[in-house]
Amino acid sequence: MNTDINVNKPAPFVTGKRLEIFNLSTEIKKTIQALEAGKPVLIADFYSNGVLLLKELHQYLKSKMPHKTFQEQREYRAAYHKLSNLILLEIINYKIDVKKAPGIGWLEKLYTGNTNFLLTFPQVQGLNSSWQWYQNGISVPTLRNKIHPYYGVYFPTRFDHLTVFDNWLKRYEGPKKSAIEVGVGSGALSFQLVGHGFQKVFGTDINPNAIIGLTEFMGDTKLSRKIELDHASLFGKWDKETELIVFNPPWLPISSDNDRTDAAIYYPEELFPDFLLLQKNDWL
């Protein structure tokens, strides 16, 4: 595995503007007017003040913007995204500098050496949700142990495809010397392959967080000797014959209209032709 890869994380908010302050004594209407004028707003005193401001922002935009048609909903979401990402929290010594804020371990794991910075409230909400998944783990019906998805890594929320794959593996009678998983993500399919007797699994992913997270999760266990990782697209550095190629691909075509560019969900038009061409040239 390439040890020089850098983790993906929310970029700290940088502003040269004076920050407006929001707490319970601040008039909400004036704060929303400040947001519409492009002025960043810092949440003070309590974490719940940020939750309140986001709620009021939703209500304000709903009263101001029609949101019945698909286009109107897109415009509403875009407006909310723009304004909500001007609502800030200060991080000091890896903790959110307001009362009753959640403890988020990602702040220290992802921002080592950066002890004082700003993040947007939606970014903090995302980090908090991800930390809960990571800490508590996710039970997968086809696996003995929970998976612990790293920040920014796709993980299954439905398990039908894993059950189908598990049933197929139970009936598989071919050789089990090696397999390749393209887009290893949180590792569920690779763990299934090892559980069904494959001696070696080579996993690739273009998301550095998937490689970093799985490397950390496996540590120096037997899994780390069974599963080898490469931060790369498609087949990465592996060009030798293998018994099985596994790929749970993105399912939506990317376009300029996409609200997000998540490579686990949206695929560029060249992905499948490149995938099939590499198989034909190298293995078939």
For residue 246, what is the domain's CATH number?
3.40.50.150
Q: How confident is the model at residue 270 (pLDDT cuts 50, 70, 90)?
A: low
Mean pLDDT over 148-158 rounds to: 92
For position 179, what pLDDT does the model report? 94
The answer as to whether 119 is a domain residue is yes
Q: Are residues 123 and 226 in the same domain?
A: no
Higher pLDDT, 95 or 247: 95
**The last residue of a domain, from among 95, 118, 134:** 134
Q: What is the dihedral of CA 72, 77, 79, 84, to 10 degrees?
A: 160
The answer as to whether 145 is a domain residue is no
Alpha carbon distance 42, 121 (integer Å): 9
Q: Where are the beta strands (DSSP E) in 61-162?
A: 87-92, 95-96, 116-120
Per the structure, the complete domain to which residue 127 belongs is given by 20-134
Mean pLDDT over 179-194 rounds to: 94
DSSP structural state of residue 158: -
CA angle 108, 109, 113 (to 5 degrees): 55
Mean pLDDT over 202-224 rounds to: 94
The answer as to whether 1 is a domain residue is no
CA angle 261, 265, 266 (to 5 degrees): 55
Higher pLDDT, 250 or 217: 217
Return the structure tokens found at 253: 């075509």
**Percentage of residues of the chain with pLDDT beyond 70:** 86
Q: What are phi and psi of 227, to 5 degrees?
A: -115, 120
Does the pLDDT of residue 266 top 90, yes or no? Answer: no
| Mean pLDDT estimate for the chain | 88
Q: Are residues 188 and 251 in the same domain?
A: yes
Alpha carbon distance 9, 130 (integer Å): 12
For position 151, what pLDDT does the model report? 96
Alpha helices in 172-207 (DSSP H): 188-195
The answer as to whether 14 is a domain residue is no
Taking the alpha carbons of 186, 192, 195, 197 in that order, is the dihedral positive or negative?
Answer: negative
Mean pLDDT over 215-242 rounds to: 89
Mean pLDDT over 115-143 rounds to: 95
Q: How confident is the model at residue 5 (pLDDT cuts 50, 70, 90)?
A: confident
For position 235, what pLDDT does the model report? 80
Return the structure tokens found at 173: 């009678």
Alpha carbon distance 241, 180 (integer Å): 10
For position 250, what pLDDT does the model report? 57
Residue 161 in contact with residue 189, Cβ under 8 Å?
Answer: no
The answer as to whether 12 is a domain residue is no
For position 213, what pLDDT does the model report? 96
For position 275, what pLDDT does the model report? 55
Q: Where are the beta strands (DSSP E) in the chain?
A: 20-22, 41-43, 87-92, 95-96, 116-120, 178-182, 200-205, 227-231, 244-247, 252-253, 266-267
Mean pLDDT over 63-72 rounds to: 87
Domain count for the chain: 2
Q: Are residues 67 and 177 in the same domain?
A: no
Give the tens place of pLDDT for each residue, 97-125: 999 999 999 999 999 988 899 999 999 99
